[in-house]
Structure formats: structure tokens, C-alpha cells
A and B are shown apart, each in its own frame.
Chain A
């Protein structure tokens, strides 16, 4: 192995660890139990090229203000816990690098259209209840785990019909960006409607009629106006706008 001179080692070391720059992280703080409105608090945070918004928030929590309320878990865009508005747009904090934002001021707020628990943590009760309402599981009378039934085989083409919609991590970003959710508290929302399509498109499922009946109501699928904002913010490529339009295709007779 070639030897490295002390000078070279110093140069490599300098290249590998650039001096961190600082940004201003503005965090929306609000405790509905004690306060009547939110306030923005500014913090100076050192960042590297790879620092994510979640890293910056956790730096603040560790060194500057331990009271910041933020929900997070996997730090790799798999759990859907750290959704928030970053510079006004719903995004996952763990999946958004500060260097990508091209701004020295980064503002984080709780996601819109969800009740605030505290600071950046929002209440997902309505998201989960709408998701459950549309029966997010295979409906059929027989089963592959009882009797002498065989497994339900699917071709790769069958799987492709619903696979991307099964990647939903229930982060709520789509519901936060949706213009209908902004005004209609009874709307099922893009997340739930897309999951309805995910099961309707699955050829193992026999609950199509049941689910189509559930979405065919005044605060259901007809309140989607194809603004596409849900698909714009989805961090997993689920494309809720496509799922909802394809689901509506069944109701309008374009699909069988």
C-alpha cells in the first residue's frame, strides 16, 4: 500500500470535512393547551452538505431548545412520521437536505389540514380513520391459508397495476397539499382514495363494488378536481392523482 505523507493526509482531511456554514432555522412553536396562537422562533444551526432538515431540528432540540416537539422515527423516508411544511411546502424532514433548498433561512411549520398536537407534531386520527374506512385489505370469502386452497397467483403485469400505490407510507403530505382538504373537513382525502384504488386494482380482491360505493358520495371521490398537488409532494412516487382518476374511471364506466 502506498504511504501517505503528513501533508497529503492534511489535504485529504481538509477536503473530506469542509467548514460547516450556518443557516437560520425558523421553527413554528405552538402548544394549543397553553397558547392561543403560534409563534416563530429563530435558531442558528451549523449545516453540512448532507444535513437534512430533521438533523437541523434535532440539533436545535439537543443544544438550543429541548422543548421542540417533533415526531420522527426511521430517518430514511420509510415510516412517514416527520412530515411538515418546509419553506411552505409539505415534505419529509428526513428526506429534505438543507443544501437542496438553496436558502439560508429554512422555515418549518406543522402540516396544514391536520390538527396540531404541539409545535411540529400533528394529529393523524382523521388520516388513519379514513384509511381504515375504505377497508385497506383484500376482501374475499375464500382464503389461501385455510383448507386445501392454493396461493393466489399473480403475473408481474397484475402486480404492476397496484404496486406503486402500495408504497404509501401514510405520511399525510398529500392530504396537506390537497386544495379540497384545505376547506372540506369531511373529504376522504387523496391518501384514502388512492388506497381504495390500490385494492380495487388488485385482482385478488373481490371488494370492488363495496369500495366504489363508499367513495361515490358527496365528500368522496367527486370532490377531487385533479389539481395534482398530492402527486407533486408524494415522497414515494405513489402518484395519488393518478390512482384517484383511475378509480373514478371505474365509476364513470371508462374501466371495467
Chain B
């Protein structure tokens, strides 16, 4: 008999609340990846406006100079910074670097792979993204 699969689905995959900062980092990595993909598509559309002549190009550029355009660019800066720095952490981890060494587990069984270096790297990624966004906001909204 075919039993109900009871899979959590996308909703469960994207729920960042139950498994600590590592799951939040995973969620942010996915979210920023998707955000950057949409930006890349938008960027291709934006730059392709040049083939329609100078007026079309100037109109498209004018869109990026609005408040909404600036906010989107600030988000792109944050997403790029987080995705890059956290991506380096994840790639090194995928090679087995920084995930701890096998050993005798002792109660209360704290996982060596979820060590302070990993957590610190996640917080550094978030902090760098915030700093980059603040700097970007200063440049875009400054005089």
C-alpha cells in the first residue's frame, strides 16, 4: 500500500527556527542565492536595453537612481557579501576542512562539526553583509 510520505516539503526545508544558527545560515545561503539569480536576470535585461538606443538606456539607468532602485542595490550588496563569505565556509566544510576530527563522543554529545569556528564564521558573514550594506547605503544615498 502507498503510504502518505509525510515529507515536510519546501515549507519545512525553509523553516530556519528549529535547528540553531547553522540552519539559519543554510536558509540565508539559499535565499541570497535565489535573490542573486533574480538580480542577474534583471541585470541582463537592464544592460540589454542599450541595444534599443540611448533614450531606452537612459530611461533604464534612471530606474536604478530611484529610492527603490537604491534599496534593491543595497540588498544585492548584502546578498553578495553574505553568499560569498558563507559560501567559502561551506565549500571548505564540504572538503572536510574546519569540521572537527572524529573522536569518542561524550555526553551531552555536542557535535564537533557544529563548532565555534563554524558559528563564528556564520556571524562574521552576517556582520560583513551588514557592514557592506551600510557602506553601500552611504554611497548611494550620500551626497
State the majority secondary structure of interface residues on B.
loop
Is A234 touching B9 in the complex (CB atoms < 8 A)?
Answer: no
Which of A162, A226, A232, A254 interacts with B19 by CB under 8 Å? A232
Number of interface residues of B (CB under 8 A): 41
Question: Which one of B25, B106, B113 has the highest number of Cβ atoms from chain A below 10 Å of its Cβ?
Answer: B113
Contact with A along B1-13 (1 / 0, CB 8 A): 1011111111011
> By the criterion CB–CB under 8 Å, are B8 and A228 in contact?
no
Contact of B102 among A201, A226, A254 (CB under 8 A): A201
- Tell me whether B112 is interfacial, beta carbon within 8 Å: yes
- Residue-by-residue, is A160-180 near B (CB-CB < 8 Å gives 1, otherwise 0)? 111111010000000001011
Give the A-B pair count, Cβ closer than 8 A.
149
Closest residue on chain A to residue B109 by CB atoms: A237
Enumerate chain A residues within 8 angstroms of B6, measured Cβ to Cβ.
110-116, 122
How many of chain A's residues touch chain B, expressed as a range? 35 or more
Q: Which residues of B contact A177 (CB under 8 A)?
A: 18-19
Q: Which residues of A contact B19 (CB under 8 A)?
A: 89, 177, 227-229, 232-233
User: Given the known A-B contacts A236-B109, A237-B109, are A182 and B9 also in contact in the complex, defined by CB atoms under 8 Å?
Assistant: yes
The chain A residue with its CB closest to the CB of B107 is: A237
Neighbour of B20 across the interface among A116, A164, A228, CB < 8 A: A228
A113 to B12 alpha-carbon distance, docked (Å): 10
Interface stretch, picked from A8-16, A67-75, A207-215, A245-253, is A245-253
In the A-B complex, list the 7 residue pairs whose CB atoms are closest, starting with the nearest. Answer: A237-B105, A249-B96, A237-B109, A115-B3, A231-B111, A228-B22, A242-B113
